[in-house]
Amino acid sequence: MASTISKHDTATQTMNFATRAIHVGQRPDPATGATIPPIHVTTTYTQQAPGQNKGYDYSRSINPTRENLEAVLASIENGAAAASFASGLAATTAIFHNLKPGDNVVAYSDLYGGTYRLMENVFRHWGLDARYTDDNTPESFKQHIDGNTRLVWLETPTNPLLRLLDIQAIADIAHDAGAKLAVDNTFATPVLQKPIDLGADYVVHSTTKYIGGHSDVVGGAVICRTAEDFEPVAYYQNAAGGVSGPFDCYLTHRGIKTLSIRLERHCHNAMRIAEHFEHHPKLESLAYPGLQNHPDHELAKRQMSAFGGIVTIVVKGGRDGAFTMSQRTRLFSLAESLGGVESLVNHPAIMTHGSIPVEIRESRGITDGLLRLSVGIEDADDLIADLEQALDF
């Protein structure tokens, strides 16, 4: 089953983030003394007698490499336990499977297209009632929650419009109504934001993004505030079997070790780009929570330690302008995903949010001229120069 934090790892909980990211889940191999634990690629484990083993029987259920990753994920999110999955959507599915037909989920309307697709095209047929608010205030969530609400789902900052939601206030509202709060922390990462400390019951990650950080591994994770909430997640992980493989766990764990230092550079570069292009004549608008004119800037200052590595722009000329710019960049690769060391430019309307019907997508502000920049850790001056030449058309 998925892992809780061991006694060794519990002892590191008093240490600061960067130290835990390196040391939790990384104990020297007892057989060889190897500082980096070996990758356990075995599918099964030899037993002394039927049912008598060393704590491991089958790698879908339990694997030492996955245990190590889950231990550090729980630690850096200040959770009781974590479960690692084969993708971010697999992790999201694990949360939704805690619900029953007829239950209601309340979410802010600006969210990842894959999450919308999962709620509308998979779980609604199964009996889930998904409701969306276009107002990001806690009061709006309170108005949408009723006696059937079992889960409130947040992304903050949101994807791709970068709005902020008040985790603590919404957690209080959800709990007063007997509902759980889940926060997709993929954009902020535990470096910048700690949802569990603010009242969230579940934290979800696409570890494909900043957690892994190198665009070479797909994965997801659920971190739970309590052992009680973790039990059904762990049961689902084993029963449904959407686990991450040993090599994927190793790559993700390796990425976590540099997460803190990478986020410093992501945030620095994104702020430089936001400040430089805030009033660019080829842009209709630019959104970045670190700018004082952002509508949620004060909440971002209070809830996050820095403002993230994503900048969203709307290019003049609509679809044609966005297409032209996105194909002229040289350092920003036109690609899905985000959070890697290299910079990416994404066209949400066609790429990450293409599963949302056009009339709904456009009503939420995801227009054909909108581009999402995942700012990497290259030299900021080079990235600015690349965007300048891409807009020179």
Contacts of 189 (CB under 8 A, 6+ apart): 205, 210, 211, 259, 263
Q: Which of 20, 209, 225, 361 is labelled catalytic?
A: 209
Q: What are the CA-CA distances from residue 136 to residues 116, 159, 197, 371 (Å)?
A: 17, 13, 20, 22
Q: Which of 27, 45, 60, 254 is labelled catalytic?
A: 60
Q: What 3-state DSSP class applies to 44?
A: strand
Contacts of 98 (CB under 8 A, 6+ apart): 151, 180, 232, 233, 236
Name the packing angle between helices 259-277 and 380-390 (round to 10°). Answer: 40
Q: What 3-state DSSP class applies to 300?
A: helix
Q: Is 60 considered catalytic here?
A: yes
Q: Which of 112, 210, 236, 250 is labelled catalytic?
A: 112
Question: From CA 183, how far away is CA 195, in angstroms rounded?
Answer: 7
Q: Is 209 considered catalytic here?
A: yes
Q: Is 45 considered catalytic here?
A: no
Q: Which of 103, 110, 166, 184 is labelled catalytic?
A: 184
Contacts of 330 (CB under 8 A, 6+ apart): 386, 389, 390
Q: State the pairing for strand pair 202-205/180-184.
A: parallel
DSSP element (H, E) containing 204? strand 202-205
Could you tell me which of 146, 147, 189, 193 has the C-alpha nearest to residue 167?
Answer: 193
> Which of 45-59 are b and which e, b meaning 16 or more Cβ less than 10 Å from the residue's Cβ?
beeeeeeeeeebeeb
Q: Is 184 considered catalytic here?
A: yes
User: What backbone torsions phi and psi does residue 243 show, to the nearest 5 degrees?
Assistant: -85, 160
Active site residues per annotation: 60, 112, 184, 209
